[in-house]
Structure 1
Amino acid sequence: MTLSIHNTSETAALVIERIDYFNVAGQLIEKYLPRAIALKPYGAIQIVIPQEDTRGGLGANFIVDWSSAGAIDEPYLEAIMIGGPGTQGYSLVSLGRKVSRP
């Protein structure tokens, strides 16, 4: 599985403050950023989970926290899964959704 985060701004940096990976039970599996990173305008970052890594289960989740110095469009987030045995394959794309947290 690959998590892809794209800065959709033409002029401003997107600051990624957190990328955390959770399993189907809601338990934190891994934190991917030791510190915040800035994506340049139209920049992108990818987090790759190897196919043999099954720690997340069928309903694994990523939480991404982001900010910017000024008003910008929301980033584009998607998770892409590709796999399959032999010559048969499958692919799945899941778009990120904004969620409210206290």
Structure 2
Amino acid sequence: MAPRSGFAPRAALAALVLALALLAAPALAGGPSKGQTLYVPCYSHIYHGIKTRPIDLTITLSARNTDPARPVRLLEVDYYDTAGKLVKRHLEKPMVLEPLATAEFIVGQTDVTGGSGANFLVRWSAEEPVSPLLVEAVMIGTSAQQGISFTSRGLPVAGR
């Protein structure tokens, strides 16, 4: 039997994987960027009960500039329905979000055009690398003394 060396291939591989994961974590967390397109899932209604009755929801889309020093520009805030068809463009022209500012866009509770698979695409840019925009949808509704609320967060998608 050959003598064991102090080097174990499995331990080295595990250390390498750990090091790569630690180095990749800031990138996954959303390092500085000059712009992105974000996909934000949302729901204009959800189903409940045995008869799958819909509960209509109000959607508040919140776009937050997380950079404490630099502005960002919202280029598009587009609302799509369950079939992927454009329902509404919420911006007529680009909008500047100052450092730490927030813009909100509302889809009213009686507007069920988006359906249970609605979504937003939010496109933004910046002159120089900034902390990425944080975009969330807050859905809330009530039915027969019952209330429901939940959130979803935007995910970066391939730019357009």
When normalised by structure 1's length, the TM-score is 0.96
**Amino acid paired to 1:27:** K
Structure 2: gaps (5+ residues):
1-58
2:69 equivalent in structure 1: 11
Which has a greater percent of helix? 2
2:137 equivalent in structure 1: 79
- Does 2:141 correspond to 1:89? no
- Does 2:126 correspond to 1:68? yes
Q: What is the CA distance between 1:92 and its match in structure 2?
A: 1.2
When normalised by structure 2's length, the TM-score is 0.62
Percent of paired sites with the same residue = 34
CA distance in 1, matches of 2:75, 2:146: 38
**Amino acid paired to 2:90:** Y
- Does 2:78 correspond to 1:26? no
**Amino acid paired to 1:21:** Y
Structure 1: gaps (5+ residues):
none
**Amino acid paired to 1:56:** G
Q: What is the CA distance between 1:73 and its match in structure 2?
A: 1.1
CA distance in 2, matches of 1:86, 1:46: 28
Aligned residue-pair number: 102
CA distance in 1, matches of 2:73, 2:147: 35
Structure number with bigger Rg: 2
Q: What is the CA distance between 1:101 and its match in structure 2?
A: 3.9
